[in-house]
Amino acid sequence: MPEAYNIKEVGYVDCVGGGQVVVVDGIAYIGHVNAPDGTSIFDVRDPKNAKELASIGMAPATHSHKVRVANNLMIVNHELNDADNSPVPDDFAGGVVIYDVSTPAKPREISRWTTAGKGVHRYDFDGRYLYMSPTVEGYVGNIVMILDLIDPEKPQEVGRWWMPGQWIAGGEEPSWEGTAHRCHHPLRQGNRLYTSYWKGGFVILNIDDMSNPTRVSGMDWAPPFACPTHTALPIPYDINGRQYLLVADEDVMREAHEPAAFMWMIDITDETNPVPISSYQVEGLAGKEVPMCTGLHQPSEKFFGTEIPMAWFSNGLRVIDIKNPQSPVEVASYVPDVPPGSKRVSSNDVTVDDNGLIYLLDRHRGMHILERT
């Protein structure tokens, strides 16, 4: 039986494993981890009777595991899938594909933006601008790029930023191995991009001039911590007159004896000098040897109030209240049953809709629709 604390399940979508979900006007858009499944669209207005409306496939060796929707546009990524050893299709081109979803049951492809290398990993979309992490010819690892979709038939690059050392075609030399320092994804608030940079920590970018983003500050704690930084989530309101950034590391790329990934709270009231003030880990993990994908994966990028739903891999959903940023508290949780064909729960993504329902997506199978009690 599922383990539930201050949460109840109100619906379930039996779908293949997913990497990301967004819910707009009662329609859930799900990006899947593995080909041949790419993107699925479900009507979840009646959570107990979700209905699939449409699906889009992907070729072997590739995936389309991220999705964002705004202004009747659906953006999906195309990227090589490191976990799929199938031959790469000759016609593969990584990037993003833009769809018209004014009729969700009939997604219509509008255009494609393509790039060199693996493609685009993750991004945010505000209805006009796409803030993304593509691989680009001449650079090592993913960089920051802003794409303007005011005319979705003709996406236009607005600006880019990279960590010094990435532009190898320009003579730069990285001080890290391989692609350890690479953009995971930017999140915009006002004229700033809060950008996770994997083993490079996070950076805050000023985009007053979108054609020339500039670095305000950043932090990098790997090492000594082994897990890479997945999300830098700005809190869109003051708490006791101060500004905060919630940072989530992803529980990968570590040994069993190293600490599982956890959540950080960063005081950015003086954004030129970010200060870590607290952290949170699920009870029982500290000091224990546990396999990867036991700790944190990511927070919901949409939330209400001070309660933040978070996907905690094999520890399911954790709802963390940050009303006292110096002492985050877990106020609700939900650990689903292990999906059929899986050895563990793998809660990969979480979001909320405008009614406050929580959508918890497993990497291997299924999406639980939950209600806070």
pLDDT tens, residue by residue, 240-264:
999 999 999 999 999 999 999 999 9
Q: How confident is the model at residue 64 (pLDDT cuts 50, 70, 90)?
A: very high
pLDDT of residue 48: 97
For residue 238, count other CB atoms closer than 10 A to its CB.
10
Superfamily of domain 3-372: YVTN repeat-like/Quinoprotein amine dehydrogenase (2.130.10.10)
Share of the chain above pLDDT 70, in %: 100
Is the distance from CB of 30 to CB of 15 less than 8 angstroms? yes
pLDDT of residue 288: 87
On the question of pLDDT at 326 being above 90, the answer is yes
On the question of pLDDT at 286 being above 90, the answer is no
3-state secondary structure 19-67: EEEEEECCEEEEEECCCCEEEEEEECCCHHHCEEEEEEECCCCEEECCE
On the question of pLDDT at 1 being above 90, the answer is no
Averaged over 209-220, what is the pLDDT? Answer: 98
pLDDT of residue 86: 95
pLDDT of residue 257: 93
Rounded alpha-carbon distances, angstroms, from residue 200 to 8, 10, 220, 225, 275? 38, 39, 5, 12, 17
Rounded alpha-carbon distances, angstroms, from residue 185 to 125, 201, 208? 11, 12, 19
On the question of pLDDT at 319 being above 90, the answer is yes
pLDDT in tens, 146-185: 999 999 999 999 999 999 999 999 999 999 999 999 999 9
Share of the chain above pLDDT 90, in %: 98
Q: How confident is the model at residue 301 (pLDDT cuts 50, 70, 90)?
A: very high
pTM: 0.97
Comparing C-alpha atoms, which of 188, 180, 83 is closest to residue 132? 188
pLDDT of residue 35: 97
Averaged over 287-306, what is the pLDDT? Answer: 95
On the question of pLDDT at 137 being above 90, the answer is yes
Q: How confident is the model at residue 287 (pLDDT cuts 50, 70, 90)?
A: confident
